[in-house]
A and B are shown apart, each in its own frame.
Chain A
Amino acid sequence: MAKYISKRILLAIVSLWIITLITFFAMNAIPGGPFNKEKATDPAVIQQLEARYNLDKPLGEQYRLYMKNLLHGDWGISTKSGRPIWNDMIEKFSVSAGLGLRAAVIAIIFGIILGAIAALNRNKLPDRLIIFFTTLGTAMPSFVLATLLLLVFCLKLGLFPVFSSENPNYTLPVIALAVYPMAYITRLTKTSMLDALNQDYIRTARAKGVSRTKVIFVHALRNALIPVITYVGPMVAYILTGSMVVENIFTIGGLGSTFVTSISTRDYPTIMAVTIFLAMLMVVANLLTDIVYKLVDPRIKLD
């Protein structure tokens, strides 16, 4: 296990390095730069600014300098705000993650419960209802759902205030974020639960005299969760980093919207920082998924 983890970490470092390389040169290949504004700025000022951010140096040299600073824990300074990126990024991330964590927990808990209910009531009313709503939930794009929620509950019914930093109400954005993964987990759980309930070892458990509840929640569910875990791991990482769509519609200043803004303003250091940060999160999430997977399914060999 320890050997496996160290191997994975090594691999992760290599992939992170490749990601920095690709991102750095790709973003520089796009025409324009941080200080190419429509309105004419004094060339002297631009020159001064570019010197400050090392933009006057050759690309290779710029990359070398960036990586050197990064390895020393310096994530750079935003060309837009002129402030150090790390603190701002963590602050935005905590907003997105707070939102995402709530959504993920709701999606996992309700997804598994609803999936189990659907499986145990196959072809009966609860199953039909659940399948109807999960089909809807997986088919509706998040921008449609978020807009609908905002329109109906905030603007028409006035049940929730429009999100603002002074008056943060997470309910609607959390719902908008949770619906898709919840619907997906529900369907996944249902399928794998039905599959598990048909297995020979379930018959064995019943034949031993195990109670119906224990057969379902110990013998079947444990097996049924194996495929769910593979989905949940990356889903959590994805949802924690914030959805630009949902954040933009509810005007929440999270990491998702930071990322979008940084691209449109060619804020090179911020683009780099956010990309690397997100990639790191993904790597950690995948590693954790593998470890949990191994804990739940002893047949898996990690090597």
Chain B
Amino acid sequence: MADSKYVLEVNDLHTSFFTDSGEVKAVNGINFKLEPGKTLGIVGESGSGKSVTAYSIMQILAQTGRITSGEVLYKGEDITKYSEKEMQKFRGSKCSIIFQDPMTSLNPVFTVGYQLEEAIMLHTNKNRAQARERAIELLKLVGVNDPEKRIHQYPHEHSGGMRQRDMIAMALACEPDILIADEPTTALDVTIQAQILELMQKLQKELGMAIIMVTHDLGVIASMCDEIMVMYGGRVCERGTADDIFYAPAHEYTKGLLRSIPRKENMNKKLVPIGGTPINLLNMPAGCAFCPRCDEAMKICLTEVPEEIRVGDTHLASCWMNVKEAFENSKEA
């Protein structure tokens, strides 16, 4: 297959969980493209499908979960067609992931060294001794002090921040092209959060991988993302640069999201949480997913899923408001 300009391309991805109470449609047609070495931020409130998107790419969904349609292209090759064996080769070597909770993400009964060496040996021809050397090197790289000693310890002997460093070291063991970080700092103290993000940026510069940064906290990642994608109900609401999203939000959900977090612009205003409850993925609304909670909802929002419309050079949004505005603007002109 032809080499692609993009290291990762996701086309119309749908993922569902088949539970006793029915089909939970967690991801409903996600599209994005990621260039080598770039950073994509994915934001959205809890339950918007960020993690499911990430797990779908890696195909590490829970047993009941399945990609129901769409493509995930790695350098132009559709990995949803891969066999489990091929996926095993892909995971950890081409694409790695780190998770939200470093306290539970490492296996408690194996040493940190064993778990690092396992990741290394799975994808290289290194023997245990060579893998150990590499593991020590990796721990040094992610800023773990005294790695020769730390490597013999069990996860419970490391602090939360150190465990996230261990996880990053493990993810980078085979220098993947893509690193997915699923809320890597949510479980950590604020000071440690900054350190971990700084580390990731430093490593990205050194190793040149693309990063998908998942978060529900827009403020934290804005500065490090080339593009930000806002998700709601398993769909993309809006995408653009950090400036686009922050200074010219073009989707009612994004506007609500911005009103709910502290920023320079609303320093003197009260923070307003988005009203209403997150949608029921068992029973998706026919039109815009955000419609039941949207103050600006119109008739069309009830019945038609909004199309993604370009609202700026780098800026796209899926909200009928933009169509209305475009229509009114054209009338004025």
Contact = CB atoms under 8 A, between A and B. Distances in A.
B129 interface: no
Contacts of A212: 84
Given A296-B109, A298-B156, A211 B88 contact: yes
Nearest to A199: B104
A206 B156 contact: no
B92 A223 contact: no
Contacts of B89: 209
B109 A208 contact: no
B91 A209 contact: yes
Contact of B99 (A204, A209, A222): A204
B112 to A, nearest CB: 11
**Which of B91, B109, B154, B170 has the most chain A CB atoms inside 10 A of its CB?**
B109
Given A212-B84, A298-B156, A207 B109 contact: no
A203 B99 contact: yes
Contact of B104 (A200, A210, A299): A200
A200 B99 contact: yes
Interface residues of B, number: 30
Interface string B113-150: 00000110011000000000000000000000000000
Contacts of A208: 91-92, 96, 118-119, 122, 170
A196 to B, nearest CB: 10
Contact of B107 (A207, A223, A226): A223
B124 to A, nearest CB: 11
Given A204-B99, A298-B154, A209 B108 contact: no
Given A206-B91, A209-B88, A209-B90, A201 B118 contact: no
Contacts of A226: 109
Contacts of B88: 209-211
Contacts of A61: none
Interface in B51-98: 55, 58, 60, 84, 88-93, 96-97
Nearest to A212: B84
Contacts of A223: 107-109
B105 A201 contact: yes
Q: Which 10 A-B pairs have the closest CB atoms?
A: A209-B92, A209-B91, A200-B104, A201-B107, A208-B92, A298-B154, A208-B119, A200-B105, A209-B88, A206-B60
Given A200-B101, A208-B119, A209-B88, 6 more contacts: A200-B99, A201-B108, A203-B60, A208-B96, A219-B110, A298-B154
Interface of A: 199-201, 203-212, 219, 222-223, 226, 296-299
18 contacts: A200-B104, A203-B60, A203-B99, A204-B105, A204-B106, A206-B91, A207-B58, A207-B91, A207-B96, A208-B118, A208-B170, A209-B122, A212-B84, A219-B110, A223-B108, A226-B109, A298-B154, A299-B156
